[in-house]
Amino acid sequence: MTQQAKDNAGFTLPAPVEGEQAPAAPATPAMGTAETVESLPATTGAEVDTSSRDALIGGGVLLVLFIAFFFAKNAYANMLVSKRVPPGKANASGWWLFIFLASLSTGVVLAAINAPKFMAPLIIGPLTLIGLIALVLMLLSSRK
């Protein structure tokens, strides 16, 4: 078998279909080979349902982030106490930081899971509002 016949032994993609034209016939194997080509059904990203798998992965990512945010909350509260902020105010400020980071990361994870569905104003709007309120309260409660 020559080098050129080896290069042509694979399958070729059909020509792109424009408009309402019928799909092209499946590709034929190279001349001189006895291989047959099986055509696989064409699937687009919209036809494959991965929502449950994506939601599970997104939930796992959020769980890991929430654990990291909890440690960041404690570190932030300890830093404020070392700067002579009363412990009660420092702890409240740490919790507001946690809520801010949690709402921000929830919005990002939801957008990564399914942007057209979760980037709706009725979902992102309240998450943004909660995050902004938590940010303002964090800054106000961290004062001496």
Does the residue 98 lie in any domain? yes
Q: How far is 139 from 99, CA to CA, in rounded Å?
A: 13
- The per-residue pLDDT for 90 is 95
Does the residue 34 lie in any domain? no
Domain count along the chain: 1
Does the residue 74 lie in any domain? yes
pLDDT over 80 (residue 140): yes
State pTM to two decimals.
0.64
Cβ atoms within 10 Å, residue 30: 17
- The per-residue pLDDT for 1 is 56
The predicted-structure confidence for 72-96, as pLDDT tens digits, reads as follows: 999 999 999 999 999 999 999 999 9
% of the chain surpassing 90 pLDDT: 53
Residue 95 structural domain:
51-141
- The per-residue pLDDT for 28 is 55
Q: Can you read off the two tokens belonging to residue 82?
A: 């070392």
pLDDT over 70 (residue 36): no
